[in-house]
Amino acid sequence: MENIILIAAPGAGKGTLAKSLKSKYGYVHISTGDLLRDAVNKGDDLGLRVKDILASGGLVDDETVYEILKARLKEDDCKKGVILDGFPRNVLQAVKYEEILSELNMNLGVVIVLDVEEELLVKRITGRRICKDCGEIYNIYNPMMTPKKENTCDKCGGSLYQRSDDNEEALKSRYATYLEKTQPLIDYYQKKNNLYIVDSNKDINYTLEQVEKILNDLGDSSD
Ligand SMILES: [Zn+2]
């Protein structure tokens, strides 16, 4: 399958889409957060270095991230296709990523941008409720995701809470930052002709259908 870079605003459904593609096609989902956590858990030299940086409250530098990403991409399961989530964040990282891919003889694949109206993002974010005991996620504005009993987890009966930064003001500021930071990256990939904008204003199945169509069309044309 084509490798995928996913770009989307917070709350646009990146995680859910990645999960569906993973279970349906065997994609490997690589998010930078998980990547760093996995590296630490491995406990090799690189992992120990990351652990030290994180423990001291520092930010992991780009070079280290590249190194970890490259090591991960080398692993066998990535041959089925990878979904990158949260990386690259800027054009510099995008260029470096292509260098890594070419060293590993891998293709860039497609860049998919999930497009969601800001108003809908606000609902998705401000309606989010999380179980304090098991971490299950609900949404009071989405009939498919409301708990059966108000403020109570269906799975474990724990009570639900709202994260303090899941409010409208914080979302609007996060969204503005997202647009500002992402635009240069979108322009960059648009010029490369591998960018696809997917309407993600409806449910996950609708989003998934569009993504599958993109992947299938590409598969047909390369036959
Ligand atoms: Zn629960």
Tell whether 138 is covered by a domain. Answer: no
Tell whether 157 is covered by a domain. Answer: no
pLDDT at 12: 87
Peptide bond into 88 cis (omega under 30): yes
Local confidence band at 58 (pLDDT 50, 70, 90 cut-offs): confident
pLDDT at 191: 96
Task: Find the CATH number of the domain harbouring 103.
Answer: 3.40.50.300
Number of domains forming the structure of the chain? 1
Q: For residue 131, how far is its CA from the centre of ligand 1 (angstroms)?
A: 5
Tell whether 194 is covered by a domain. Answer: yes
Q: For residue 165, how far is its CA from the centre of ligand 1 (angstroms)?
A: 20
**Residue 129 falls in the annotated catalytic set:** no
**Residue 49 falls in the annotated catalytic set:** no
Mean pLDDT of 206-221: 90
Local confidence band at 187 (pLDDT 50, 70, 90 cut-offs): very high
pLDDT at 133: 97
pLDDT at 13: 85
Q: Which pTM was predicted? A: 0.84
CA distance linking residue 112 with residue 219, whole number of Å: 16
Q: Which residue has the higher pLDDT, 61 or 11?
A: 61
Mean pLDDT of 49-60: 88
**Residue 128 falls in the annotated catalytic set:** yes
**Residue 163 falls in the annotated catalytic set:** yes
Local confidence band at 221 (pLDDT 50, 70, 90 cut-offs): low
Contact 21, 27 (CB under 8 A): yes
pLDDT in tens, 145-185: 999 999 999 999 999 999 988 899 988 998 999 999 999 99
Tell whether 91 is covered by a domain. Answer: yes
Full residue range of the structural domain in which residue 68 is found: 4-116+175-213
Tokens at residue 197, please? 């904008």
Of residues 163, 181, 192, 213, which has the active-site annotation? 163
CB atoms within 10 A of CB 157: 11
Tell how strand 28-31 and strand 195-199 pair up: unpaired
- The chain-wide mean pLDDT, for the chain, equals 92
pLDDT at 130 over 80: yes
Tell whether 33 is covered by a domain. Answer: yes
Tell whether 130 is covered by a domain. Answer: no
pLDDT at 222: 56
Tokens at residue 99, please? 């260098």
Local confidence band at 28 (pLDDT 50, 70, 90 cut-offs): very high
Tell whether 197 is covered by a domain. Answer: yes
pLDDT at 192 over 80: yes
